[in-house]
Each structure stands twice: as C-alpha cells, then as structure tokens.
A and B are shown apart, each in its own frame.
Chain A
C-alpha cells in the first residue's frame, strides 16, 4: 500500500483538465465549418463535372482555392478531434492508442495532400 490518499491520487486528473480544451476546439471548428461547408459545397459542386482545363482554371482563382484550402484545414482538424472522441468511446487499451495515432496521421496526410494539390493548381 502506498502512502497516498484517494484524494491526492485523483487531484488534477478530473475530466475538466484537458477535456475542456478538446471540447472548445470542436466548438470553434464547428462554427468555422458552419460558414465554410456551404461555400465549399457551392464552389466544388459548381465545377465537378467540368472538363480538365476548366477545373484547373477554376482552382487557379483565389476564392474557390482559398475556400477549399480552409475547408480542408478546418474540416480535417475537426475530423481528427471528432474521430478521436468516437474511438475513445468504443475502443480500449492498445487498440485505442493505435487508432487515435492512425486517425491523426490520416487527418494531416489528407490535409497536406489537398493543400499540395491546391497550391500546384494555383501556380
């Protein structure tokens, strides 16, 4: 038996330590996406189905490119945090850790790939 009281062991480990920060980031990205998603649906939906030259010309313009870039950055951050909450709800132990790491990697990979594509299209 260790000379620690239950109170001492639990101190500072409450859910209100780093959990609130995660929750706050979800709220901020949700508000941002409430603006970005309609803009992205309209811009992307307008050009999907057009020929190659038109797509390249369209995403060389600032507005569609910036909307797509912002939607990718904020959307994938929102996905990273949201998917992590889901994993933590249903998966335990090592599998949880592995899935969270995999989700974080996937989120940044999608973000980086999309941004690379948008920059190449714009230049």
Chain B
C-alpha cells in the first residue's frame, strides 16, 4: 500500500537529555547554535549605533550611552565571547565537513580547543581594545 502512514511518520527525537548523556561533543555543538543565533542581539545594537551616528549627535549620544552602559557592556562582552566561540566552532565545523577529525579523541580535543581558545581570544580582545 502506497498511502500507509502518510503524515504519521516518526520524527527524529531530540537526543540530548532523554536518550543521550550530555558530552563534550554534543554540548560544544549546541553552544555553536546558541552563540550564533544570540549574536543577533549584538548585530541589532551595533546597527542601531551606526544608524544613530549617521543621524545626529544627539541621537548618537543616546545609542552610545546604551552601548556603554553596564548592560550594553555586558551584552558586548558576552558577544565577544560568543563570536569567538562561534568563529572557532565554525572552523571546527569546516574541518569536520572535510571528513577529518571525526574520531572521538580528536573530536574531544577540538572541543576543548574551541572552549579554551574562545576564552583566550576573548581575554586577548578585551585587553587590546
């Protein structure tokens, strides 16, 4: 029968939690998605800041004040880490996509590399800027 089970096919379940013990590879993978999508907040703030600079000195003072407030600084500091994390995780993804680094010891090493690398790059960025 060709029409059996149409629309009632099983969906692939969300694995982390009920079926899979959280592990370095899965957590670093989901963090890639979280950091990447969360960066929209920084993008909105920066574009707003640019628009304010293009509009007038008064409007710029408002946007600049928000970005340099404690809340703005918190978001920007978090975004610096998020962008470096996503940057390194993306490079790891490109490496994986070439079919390399997929054995467990290498994958775990790359996971730690992404975590520590993002922290180091964040501290480095905050120091030089």
Q: A residues engaging B (CB < 8 A)?
A: 1-2, 4-6, 9, 27, 30-31, 33-34, 37-38, 41-42, 44-46, 48-49, 52, 55-56, 59, 68, 72, 75-76, 79, 82-83, 86, 90, 106, 110, 113-114, 116-118, 120-121
Q: Which residues of A contact B36 (CB under 8 A)?
A: 79, 82
A12 to chain B, nearest CB (A): 17
Interface size bucket, B side?
35 or more
Asked whether A121 and B129 contact (CB < 8 A) given A34-B87, A34-B91, the answer is: no
A55 in contact with B87 (CB, 8 Å) = no
| Interface residue SS majority, chain B | helix
Which segment of B19-27, B54-62, B99-107, B108-116 sits at the interface? B54-62
Within 8 A of A (CB), among B60-119: 60-61, 64, 67-68, 76, 80, 83, 87, 90-91, 93-94, 97
Q: Which residues of A contact B43 (CB under 8 A)?
A: 72, 75-76, 79, 110
Q: Which residues of B contact A42 (CB under 8 A)?
A: 129
Q: B residues engaging A (CB < 8 A)?
A: 1-3, 14, 33, 36-37, 39-40, 43-44, 46-47, 49-51, 53-55, 57, 60-61, 64, 67-68, 76, 80, 83, 87, 90-91, 93-94, 97, 125, 129
| Interface residue SS majority, chain A | helix
